[in-house]
A and B are shown apart, each in its own frame.
Chain A
Amino acid sequence: MIINENTIPARPAPASSRGIIGWLRANLFSTPANSVMSLAGLAFLAWAIPPLFQWVVLEADFIGTNKDACTSEGACWVFVSARFQQFMYGFYPDVELWRVNIFFAEMTAVLVWVLWDKMPKRNWGGIWFLTGFPATSFLLLYGGFGLEVVETHKWGGLMLTLVLSLVGMVIALPVGVLLALGRRSDMPAISSFCTIFIEVWRGVPLITILFMASVMLPLFVPGDIEMDKLVRAMIGISLFEAALIAEVIRGGLQAMPKGQYEAADAMGLSYWKGMRLIIMPQVFRISIPGIVNTFVQLFKDTSLVLIIGLFDLLAVMQAGITDVNWPNISIEAFVFTGFVFWMFCFGMSRYSQALERKLDTGHKN
């Protein structure tokens, strides 16, 4: 017989499994193969980082107005500063640039209001984001009410990329949710419509959709109805992304335990209340990685509007490369464009990870 009356007090873990040494042991040098990989990785970084840093910063030229200012071995960032206006605004008229700047400022403010959880009255922020912000943005960027009209073919650069992405995201998410719910509907008419819509849009390359919207659509609609090329691109991108989002959401719906639907039903909640209060909040949480993945893809895919003659960030840069006054500038142009795209996408990624942590209520289904 064994009787143990004494409670054994908790002791700290041994030094070899704590602190920096413990971390190194567990993560970098846990096995011989792992150690070799770690050392090879370090060697690669030591080989690659210094020359890269030298090219990007130490030996680069930052100041000047033309190619002649670039005398050293490194990158010629003068190109970026010389083309800064085109890169931000495309061919937007000089005297009207303040309107785009106000748009940038309002966008930043409203995004912070909606996305930062410490801001007051965030639901009002959400309402403004979906109503006042699009209205004021349209007025600012396009014109009307005393402001000079700036045709959309003059829009371009980062401004165009942001407009296309924001419109795409804001339309694609709710439409995608409806399509996902519709595809799971018990009503055959609704579910087959949604299934066909999703499969058709998802199965066609975006480049084809944009091309059709730009070149073929005018052949089918009566001549007197003329739709702006940018609007057509927006509709094409939004519906394409909605089909992708729908499948992400459907995955989330599929992952929900049946008991959640039953509990919502058993309390007397209607279908839409149950969806809004019980199912969708949980579906959004588990679908965050997929939704953000689609949004990141959308943000980058907006550069495909190049083929229908709209000049987004990447297109403006590419046009700059062909300029005879700036020979051999393509590396700088692509590195810089890539970096800007990466910054936005990385921002979305970080935000979504913070959101996932915030919404984690410790429940594993």
Chain B
Amino acid sequence: MQADVAERAEEQAQHSISIEKLADAETMIELKGVNKWYGDFHVLKDINLTVKKGERIVVCGPSGSGKSTMIRCINRLEEHQEGIIDVNGVTLTNDLKNIEHIRKDVGMVFQHFNLFPHLTVLENCTLAPIWVRKMPKKEAEEIAMKYLERVKIPDQANKFPGQLSGGQQQRVAIARSLCMNPEVMLFDEPTSALDPEMIKEVLDVMIELAQEGMTMICVTHEMGFARTVANRVIFMDGGQIIEENAPEPFFNNPQSDRTKLFLSQILSH
């Protein structure tokens, strides 16, 4: 699998947008001085992060480092106490209208898929377009089928999630998010709950998505994926961003001791 991913990397080197070009792209997400506490526990410490349109960020770090919490703050699944979060020109406040507006534009894929078990695959995909975007049912179904084809499971459209394998469920979850035509996709450890043989099928879909220019923030431990698609890799520890760099220098020449230790632990076997 590693070799395969590397192969794809070369293939995509030509496609990928260079960081220089991104410099003048518009800002999609901006976090300024974000702090968050769970009770007295300080989970996010002075997070500053700017994500340009079309940029692909991979966030890694040991468990409990705050990486999931950070991306969950972006669509308000978690509330931050200090700092400013701007998403696509809208500032997150307690105003429900604002929050729902941002959530329409931000797709999220979870570690445990979180498909709706009482609805078919197709209904999972059409629910939000119909009820949030007010799309006619027929149009929503056409769009859903298009995305189900893209994640290569149109034949499962009328099954229930419980009848699908983990990898298939996660691909449905990705299609479900895409049906809302999001500006940004957040991935919260999308392959961590999968059997090894299913990781590739999900990563392939994500790589394709990246090639098409989707803005992505991805919390993952798939370092091959990070090398392949990321414009930037962010390493978090203890609620802070410790190191932020392009994948090449990040993996080959990490600066901080903690990054070196982390990389040596996850890459050593």
Contacts and interface: CB of A to CB of B under 8 A. Distances in A.
Interface of A: 257, 259-260, 262-263, 265-270, 273, 277-278, 281-282, 285, 359, 361-365
Contacts of A285: 118
A293 to B, nearest CB: 22
B127 A267 contact: yes
B114 A263 contact: yes
Contact of A269 (B101, B132, B160, B163): B132
B162 A361 contact: yes
B128 A268 contact: yes
A266 B132 CA distance: 11
Contacts of B106: 266
A168 to B, nearest CB: 27
A360 to B, nearest CB: 9
Contacts of A257: 112, 114
Contact of A277 (B127, B160, B162): B127
A33 to B, nearest CB: 38
B135 interface: no
Most A-side CB within 10 Å, residue of B75, B113, B131, B180: B131
A354 B114 CA distance: 27
B180 A363 contact: no
Nearest to B180: A267
Given A362-B163, A363-B160, A363-B162, A269 B118 contact: no
Contact of A263 (B116, B118, B162): B116
A363 B161 contact: yes
Interface residues of B, number: 29
Given A268-B132, A277-B127, A361-B117, 17 more contacts: A262-B77, A263-B114, A263-B115, A263-B116, A265-B103, A266-B75, A266-B77, A266-B107, A268-B100, A268-B128, A268-B180, A270-B100, A359-B118, A362-B163, A363-B118, A363-B162, A364-B162
B262 interface: no
B51 interface: no
B82 to A, nearest CB: 21
A284 to B, nearest CB: 9
A270 B163 CA distance: 28
Contacts of A281: 118
Contact of B108 (A266, A278, A361): A266
Contacts of B163: 361-362
Secondary structure of the A contact surface, majority rule: helix
Contacts of A263: 108, 110, 114-116
A110 to B, nearest CB: 26
B104 interface: yes
B160 A267 contact: no
B134 to A, nearest CB: 12
Contacts of A359: 118
B181 to A, nearest CB: 12
Interface in B129-144: 131-132
A259 B108 CA distance: 12
A44 B184 CA distance: 70
Contacts of B132: 267-269, 273
A263 B188 CA distance: 12
A274 to B, nearest CB: 9
B110 A262 contact: yes
Given A268-B128, A361-B160, A259 B118 contact: no
Nearest to B105: A268
Nearest to A270: B100
A269 B131 contact: yes
A365 B180 contact: no
B112 A268 contact: no
Contacts of A267: 103, 127-128, 132, 176, 180
Contact of B114 (A260, A273, A277): A260
Contacts of B115: 263
Nearest to A273: B131
29 contacts: A259-B114, A260-B114, A262-B77, A262-B110, A262-B114, A263-B110, A263-B114, A265-B75, A265-B77, A266-B75, A266-B77, A266-B103, A267-B103, A267-B176, A268-B103, A268-B132, A277-B131, A278-B116, A278-B127, A281-B118, A282-B116, A282-B117, A361-B118, A361-B160, A361-B162, A362-B160, A363-B118, A363-B161, A364-B162
Contacts of A361: 117-118, 160-163
Given A263-B114, A282-B117, A362 B162 contact: yes
A363 B160 CA distance: 8
A257 B116 CA distance: 11
Contacts of B117: 282, 361, 363, 365
Contacts of B162: 361-364
Nearest to A267: B128
Nearest to A265: B77
A259 B77 CA distance: 11
A281 B176 CA distance: 19
Nearest to A274: B131
Contacts of B114: 257, 259-260, 262-263
Contact of B112 (A259, A265, A266, A273): A259
A207 to B, nearest CB: 39
A259 B116 CA distance: 10
Contacts of B127: 267, 277-278
A260 B162 CA distance: 14
A355 B75 CA distance: 37
Contacts of B161: 361, 363
Nearest to B163: A362
A270 B96 CA distance: 9
Nearest to B133: A268
